Amino acid sequence: MKRTARASKRGQLSTATPAKPVRSYGRGTGVPHPVDVDVGKRIRARRLFLGMNQAALARALDLTFQQVQKYEHGANRVSASRLSAIADVLGVAVSFFFVEGPSDQDTRMEQPETIELVRRYYAIPDERVRQQFLQMVKAVAESSERRVPERARKRA
């Protein structure tokens, strides 16, 4: 640590430590790093997509469910070796946990109902039925989008 000499009010020299930069997150701040939070969200989303609870993931990793919970919330950092083990259990590559681009992604993709819908969709064994279901969902969404302007006109 570099100390600098400077004059005090009484004309004497004193040694002072330069001020450390203040961080808004990280160790000692009580605020997790945004990357840790994003990785945790991806762990949680994949676990839910597979229909796995925290206890099942914890057992597979020989951890407590509380530790998995801390990883998912970004409270504890996931080491590289642990992340590799998590990726193996969840059936994805380690790169799955790192999203390219801005971290302000659409949070609707992390909602339990979205994850359940996707799980149920892929549980349909017949590809043709899945495609018909997808077309039906698109038609309902488009119909709803057309009705929104009509409702706005009626209010005006």
pLDDT at 16: 57
Domain segments of the chain as ranges = 34-146
Q: Which residues, 6 or more positions from 61, have their beta carbon under 8 angstroms from its beta carbon?
A: 68, 82, 85, 86, 89
Q: What pTM value is reported for the model?
A: 0.62
The mean pLDDT of 80-99, rounded to a whole number, is 92
Closest CA to 69 of 94, 41, 38, 95: 41
Weakest-pLDDT range from 19-23, 30-34, 37-41: 19-23
Confidence class for position 59, pLDDT limits 50, 70, 90: very high
Superfamily of domain 34-146: lambda repressor-like DNA-binding domains (1.10.260.40)
pLDDT, tens digit, 9 for 90 and up, residues 107-152: 777 778 888 888 889 899 999 999 999 999 889 988 887 776 655 5
